[in-house]
């Protein structure tokens, strides 16, 4: 039991150390950190390591290392909300342009297909008398 506990503790320490190294190299892999210069905090390191903040505090030497890293490499401010909004608005406008282009292409292809299939777009004509005759043949 104690051996398994020791192994878990070592694995957790390794995860935290790897997360600290990713912060040093600005190569974070957590979805909230990817592509951003994130401020180094114990909470951010725990999130990056995939461990709870309580587990991180069980490693005081790593907490000191995080504190030292936070003072040495302060993060550049995250993009402002207005910058993120502008990026999203641009992406939405591009998606709308793409939808419009696809709708135009769909219309063009439908017209081209209509040259070869004259019934394209017409409602199906149902001959009720013929349908009744077919259904009545199956009855005794």
Cα separation, 49 vs 62, whole angstroms = 12
Cα separation, 119 vs 121, in Å, equals 6
Do 24 and 69 touch, CB atoms closer than 8 A? yes
**pLDDT single digits (tens) 61-82:** 999 999 988 887 655 445 566 7
Provide the pLDDT for residue 134.
76
For CA atoms 11, 13, 15, 17, give the dihedral sign.
negative
Torsion of CA 103, 105, 111, 116, to 10 degrees: -130
pLDDT classification of 60: cutoffs 50, 70, 90: very high
What percentage of the chain exceeds 70 in pLDDT? Answer: 86
Per residue in 8-58, pLDDT (tens digit) is 999 999 999 999 998 888 888 888 887 777 788 999 999 999 999 999 999
Instruction: Using pLDDT thresholds of 50, 70 and 90, give the confidence band for residue 138.
Output: low
Query: Which tens digits make up the pLDDT trace of 104-131?
Result: 999 898 888 878 877 776 666 677 777 7
* The total number of residues written for the chain in this structure: 140
Instruction: Report the largest interatomic distance among the alpha carbons of the chain, rounded to a whole angstrom.
Output: 93
């Amino acid at each position: 039991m104690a051996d398994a506990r020791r192994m878990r503790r070592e694995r957790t320490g390794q995860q935290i150390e790897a997360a600290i190294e990713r912060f040093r190299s600005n190569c974070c892999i957590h979805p909230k950190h990817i592509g951003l210069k994130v401020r180094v905090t114990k909470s951010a390191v725990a999130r990056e390591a995939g461990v709870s903040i309580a587990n991180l505090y069980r490693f005081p030497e790593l907490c000191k290392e995080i504190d030292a890293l936070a003072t040495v490499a302060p993060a550049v401010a995250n993009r402002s909300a207005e910058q993120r909004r502008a990026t999203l608005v641009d992406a939405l406008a591009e998606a709308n342009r793409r939808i419009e282009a696809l709708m135009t292409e769909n219309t063009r292809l439908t017209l081209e297909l209509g040259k070869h299939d004259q019934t394209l777009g017409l409602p199906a004509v149902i001959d009720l008398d013929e349908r009744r005759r077919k259904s009545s043949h199956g009855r005794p």
